[in-house]
A = this chain, B = another copy of it.
Amino acid sequence: MTPILHDTLLTQLKWRYATKKFDPAKKIAIAVWSALEEALVLTPTSYGLQPLKFLVLTDPALRAQLVPISWGQTQPVDCSHFVIFAARAQNTEADVDRYISRMAEVRGVTSEALAGFKNVLVGDVVNGPRGKVALEWAARQAYIALGNFMTAAALVGVDTCPMEGFDPAKYDEVLGLPAQGFHAVVACAAGYRAVDDKYAGMPKVRFAASELIDRR
């Protein structure tokens, strides 16, 4: 029932920090990166709809274009793999159908048997409350993926740096996302800390549990 010790979990969550300086020479091994990509795919999302794209950038020239539109931060070029979390701007009935088809395929049932569930989805994410705030709803799902990704990475000893500090409209333009119906909402650099990243040794700043946790 306890695949890893809770002490191991906490050791790794304390080990992680927002890496400011990556070692550009250290690349994440293929098997480890494949697992982290699979972790992204496995991210739970609202209704399971996955209104997301994960852009994984390794090309140096493309990554170099991001530095000036990332408040000058160099993590996009210095890290091993740079991930951009993109959220879908609108949900259509076709998006729901694609999900229903996938569910039918995976679970070995007919799409017709899922018609009731489809109607619930369309009535919420297309024509209902979540449809009215589709991009923001999808952005929140992207942040679940970000949280999952950073924790997963820490557990396999990979450093990360989450980044909201960039110009989303310019990221969109460089990456051609709007034409696909998506927008960049957050990013995360992954790789290995440089031995001289002074931030690695600084005590972690978090409010006391008593300020954040309210037990009732």
Residues of A within 8 A of B (CB): 1-16, 18, 31-32, 35-44, 46, 48, 50, 52-59, 62, 99, 102-103, 106-107, 136, 139-141, 143-152, 155-157, 162, 164, 175, 185-186, 202-207, 209, 212-216
Contacts and interface: CB of A to CB of B under 8 A. Distances in A.
Contacts of A3: 8, 11-12, 15, 155-157
B143 A102 contact: no
Contacts of A156: 2-6, 9
B10 A215 contact: no
A1 B193 CA distance: 12
Contacts of A58: 215-216
A198 B11 CA distance: 35
Q: Which label, helix, strand, loop or mixed, suits the secondary structure of the A interface?
A: helix
Of the candidates A2, A55, A213, the one having the most CB atoms from chain B within 10 angstroms of its own CB is A213
Number of copies: 2
Contacts of A11: 3
A9 B216 contact: no
A102 to B, nearest CB: 6
A42 B204 contact: yes
Contacts of A145: 147
23 contacts: A2-B157, A3-B156, A5-B156, A6-B31, A6-B32, A6-B36, A6-B156, A13-B38, A18-B44, A37-B209, A39-B151, A42-B206, A53-B212, A53-B213, A55-B216, A56-B215, A58-B215, A99-B205, A99-B207, A102-B205, A136-B136, A143-B143, A147-B149
Q: Which 4 A-B pairs have the closest CB atoms?
A: A147-B147, A6-B35, A143-B143, A144-B147
Contacts of A162: 44, 46, 144
A153 to B, nearest CB: 9
Nearest to A16: B44
Contacts of A209: 37-38, 41
A4 B4 contact: yes
